Chain A
Amino acid sequence: MTASLTLVVLMAVMFGAGITIMLERSLTRVLIGFLLVGNAVNVLIYLMSGAPGLAPILGEGVDADEISDPLPQVFVLTAIVINLGITAFMLALIYRSWWLAQLGAKGDLIDDEDEDLHDAEEAADLFRISAADDAAVQELIEASDEEYDRALDDELELEASARDDLEAGSAERPEADR
């Protein structure tokens, strides 16, 4: 069996680098490491097909002995597709875990408010706070009634839409439960 030295060296470097990076704690680096090792394995499969030859397409005037081994190429293609899918999933997972980290220890359990008393109290607090905000905004409006402020108007619109969302959300939830 003959193999290309360049490919062997490339494979070794990718294996080494990939495994090193996979040992890191950060998920993103683990993913990069996985990609490197995954591709190193693909190169390894390709190396196993032996001496390179013509494109593995049997047609007129093509001697079956001169083409390269098609099977490893099929393996590599399949492995690439699988790695692509896994990578997409890992990215989603990383995003999710970053998102959870942003939210802190409470996670994103905010929409469980109607499940038990504790959460219901929290939700009530949330509404109370937003009601206080509304009142404050109302005061502001009255104070600045004389001079019309465009920026404030925008802000109000934002507030209103956020409040609408909140209300729409809480109205929809019982629906979703059924």
Chain B
Amino acid sequence: MTAALVPLVVLLPLLGAASALILGRHRRAQVVVSVVALAAVAVIAAVLLAIVDGGEPVAVTVGAWPAPYGIVLVVDRLSAIMLLVSAIVLLVVLVYAVGQGVADRHRETPVSIFHPSYLILSAGVFNAFIAGDLFNLYVGFEILLSASYVLLTLGGTGERIRAGVTYIIVSLVSSLFFLSAIALVYGATGTANLAQLSVRIGELPDQVQLVLHLLLLIAFGIKAAVFPLSFWLPDSYPTAPAPVTAVFAGLLTKVGVYAIIRTETLIFADHDLSVLLLVVGGLTMLIGILGALTQADIKRLLSFTLVSHIGYMIFGIALGTQLGMTATIYYVVHHITVQTSLFLTTGLIERFGGATSINRLAGLLKASPFLAILFFIPALNLGGIPPFSGFLGKTGLFLAGGEQAAADPETAWLVWAVIAAGAITSLITLYALTRFWNMAFWRGRDELEGYESVLLGSVVEAPEGATVTATKSTPTLMVAATTVLVVVTVLLTVFAGPIFGLADRAASNLTDPAVYVSLVFPGGAP
């Protein structure tokens, strides 16, 4: 019974995509199919999480070929958490997109394209989370990337094509890195199965391990947008339609982070690159947020904070301790929901205020107090104001850092430096977002003409500021979807205790790779 549920999380969206494509001419039916498919996956993910957290591990071999030859799908606590969160976020964003009518805003796009691509993207994301071998992970990545190419260039306007080209070429290069890494890993160990790799990698010479480790980290680092491989993100995400940007920002980078977690905790559990990861994590935070400081355009600003906050997760992964992993998992969940809701709110601001630039928005608080709340809560949350989940996640990471620094005096100074970078980043995030708040929400509409302030001295407009027309109509469905997601971010704070407990149990699976191995090979790895 349980075993049958696992493949369904990939199959349902794929079948949904096929039906949505066939139903291309019937918009309503298409919407129903997509919503039902994603809602079903969300329910299955919740059931799986309950089962897995109850202590019954789930590993399914597909196609009757036993592991390590066949395809094995593994759901442990981390996978189940990621499945559930991403299913909820995907569902909410889909409802938002339906509200916006994104599928028909641009007449040069066939109406039928959006829903199938979106479902295929979901299938890829889910497949990546349950993949039990490297090659299946690659296939998951390719599924979600192919769909994301289509979604990013939706409508085929010049601006999107230009942004899409950067994104696509960078993704292609990262895929080639990943595939080469798989080839070399297979050549060195004779397997691509994660559980078997975990056992066999340790037997390789140190230098070979280093090469394989770095290759995989580069491939995943590009996807997760880790500095210095993050240059592509702020240029390509902001041009897409709001729901597409929201789901990309929330989920796609986290798939990369998830892959890095697996690489570090499972495949290379004994091969230590934590110093490199610490340095890279700290730099990602600082350089990302410094980029955000100078952005006038809220979409670009948020893209830079997205890059910067990936650094926190890399920091947690680098620590590698039980508390570090717990905080990382909690932070991933927090960041997916908060970043997505901020981008959704931006979509509403764009519709309501007719612009995304800090220089052209004003008086939104008076015009729409509810929109102001929808922006204010996730903004404070991302900045790490207590008692929100951003604060809890960061505190968890800093505590884990302090513990690690005390345990290992050699790298203590580095860990403290990264903690300091994290604290600074958090403050600058708060500064950048409250500055936007001050200008767009607090400033009166009448002050807009000839407004001067030191706060705006350093900001630059987006290179290709697209003209947006204010529609003033904000469909109820869009507002409702955003509200639901903001409520979810608040719930993450309210139920922080149980969620941290869950993350703690998930982390205990991660810190001991033997758990995963015994899950796939109950009788010991061959």
A residues adjacent to B (C-beta < 8 A): 1, 22, 27, 30, 34, 37-38, 41, 44-45, 47-48, 71-72, 75, 78-79, 82, 85-86, 89-90, 93, 96-97, 100, 107-109, 111, 115-116, 173, 176
* In the complex, chain B residues whose CB is within 8 Å of the CB of A44: 180, 183-184
CB-based contact B179/A89 at 8 Å: no
Once the chains are docked, how many angstroms separate the CA of A78 from the CA of B142? Answer: 11
Minimum C-beta distance from B104 to chain A (A): 8
Scoring B residues 141 to 181 as 1 if CB is less than 8 Å from chain A, else 0, what string do you get?
01000100110010011100110110011001100100110
Q: A48-B187, A93-B153 are in contact. List 9 more A-B contacts (CB 8 A).
A: A44-B180, A78-B135, A82-B146, A89-B150, A93-B149, A93-B164, A96-B161, A100-B156, A108-B108
CB within 8 A of B149: which of A45, A89, A97, A173?
A89
Main secondary structure, interface of B, reads helix
CB-based contact B146/A30 at 8 Å: no
Known: A48-B187, A78-B139. A96 touches B179 (CB 8 A): no
CB within 8 A of B186: which of A71, A90, A96, A108?
A71
* In the complex, chain A residues whose CB is within 8 Å of the CB of B139: 78, 82
Minimum C-beta distance from B69 to chain A (A): 7
8 contacts between A and B (CB under 8 A): A22-B169, A22-B173, A27-B165, A48-B183, A48-B187, A71-B186, A71-B192, A86-B172
CB-based contact A96/B156 at 8 Å: yes
Decide yes or no whether B182 CB sits under 8 A from chain A.
yes
Decide yes or no whether B469 CB sits under 8 A from chain A.
yes
A101 (CB) vs chain B CBs: closest residue: B158
* In the complex, chain B residues whose CB is within 8 Å of the CB of A41: 176, 179-180, 183
CB-based contact A115/B161 at 8 Å: no
* In the complex, chain B residues whose CB is within 8 Å of the CB of A22: 169, 173
Minimum C-beta distance from A135 to chain B (A): 31
CB-based contact A111/B176 at 8 Å: no
CB-based contact B168/A90 at 8 Å: yes
CB-based contact A111/B69 at 8 Å: no
Main secondary structure, interface of A, reads helix
Once the chains are docked, how many angstroms separate the CA of A37 from the CA of B176? Answer: 8
CB-based contact A71/B107 at 8 Å: no
Once the chains are docked, how many angstroms separate the CA of A115 from the CA of B106? Answer: 11
Scoring B residues 502 to 524 as 1 if CB is less than 8 Å from chain A, else 0, what string do you get?
00000000000000000000000
Minimum C-beta distance from A20 to chain B (A): 14
A75 (CB) vs chain B CBs: closest residue: B135
* In the complex, chain A residues whose CB is within 8 Å of the CB of B157: 100, 107, 109
Minimum C-beta distance from B142 to chain A (A): 5
Known: A41-B183, A45-B182, A45-B183. A71 touches B169 (CB 8 A): no
Known: A44-B180, A111-B107. A82 touches B165 (CB 8 A): no
* In the complex, chain B residues whose CB is within 8 Å of the CB of A78: 135, 139
* In the complex, chain A residues whose CB is within 8 Å of the CB of B172: 34, 86
Once the chains are docked, how many angstroms separate the CA of A17 from the CA of B157? Answer: 32
* In the complex, chain A residues whose CB is within 8 Å of the CB of B469: 115-116
Which residues in chain B, 429-448, are within 8 Å of chain A measured between CB atoms? none
Once the chains are docked, how many angstroms separate the CA of A89 from the CA of B169? Answer: 12
CB-based contact A71/B183 at 8 Å: no
The residue in B149, B179, B192 that gathers the most chain A C-beta atoms within 10 A of its C-beta is: B179
* In the complex, chain B residues whose CB is within 8 Å of the CB of A38: 176
* In the complex, chain A residues whose CB is within 8 Å of the CB of B108: 108, 111
CB-based contact A97/B182 at 8 Å: no
CB-based contact B107/A176 at 8 Å: yes
Scoring B residues 70 to 114 as 1 if CB is less than 8 Å from chain A, else 0, what string do you get?
000000000000000000000000000000000010011000000
CB-based contact B146/A48 at 8 Å: no
Closest 4 CB pairs of A and B: A48-B187, A45-B183, A44-B183, A107-B158
* In the complex, chain A residues whose CB is within 8 Å of the CB of B153: 93, 96
CB-based contact A100/B192 at 8 Å: no
Known: A41-B176, A85-B146. A30 touches B169 (CB 8 A): yes
Once the chains are docked, how many angstroms separate the CA of A111 from the CA of B107? Answer: 8
